Amino acid sequence: MKDFSISKKSANKNSDIDNAANNHSDKLTKIITTKRIRAGVTTALAVGSIMLATQQVQAFSALAVVNGITSNGGVGVSKDILYGDAPDQDLDIYYPKPLAKAMESQTDIKTSYPMVVFVHGGSWENGSKEEYAFVGQSLAQAGYVTAVINYRKAPEHVYPDYVEDTAQAIAWSYKNATRFHADPERLAVVGHSAGAFNAVAAIANEDFLKPYGVKPTEIAAVIGIAGPYSYDFRKFSSATAFAADATPDEVMPDRQIKGAQPPYLLLTAEKDTVVYESNTIKMTQALKAVGVNVQTGEISGASHATSIGAMAPPLRWVNDVRAQVVNYLDKTLK
**Distance of alpha carbon 88 from its chain centroid, rounded?**
16
All residue ranges of the chain with pLDDT < 70 are: 1-62, 64-66, 68-71
In the chain the first and final C-alpha atoms are separated, in Å, by 38
The pTM (predicted TM-score) of the whole model is 0.82
Predicted pLDDT of residue 26: 40
Segment (H or E) for 197:
helix 194-204
Find all residues with CB under 8 Å of 73, minimum gap 6, and list them: 97, 137, 140, 141, 313
Burial label for 90, CB within 10 Å (0-12, 13-18, 19+), is middle
Predicted pLDDT of residue 270: 98
Nearest-CA neighbor of 76 among 4, 146, 155, 172?
A: 146
Predicted pLDDT of residue 215: 98
Burial label for 219, CB within 10 Å (0-12, 13-18, 19+), is buried
Whether the Cβ atoms of residue 140 and residue 146 lie closer than 8 Å to each other = yes
Find all residues with CB under 8 Å of 300, minimum gap 6, and list them: 270, 319, 320
pLDDT, tens digit, 9 for 90 and up, residues 93-149: 999 999 999 998 988 999 999 999 999 999 999 999 999 999 999 999 999 999 999
DSSP code for 205: B
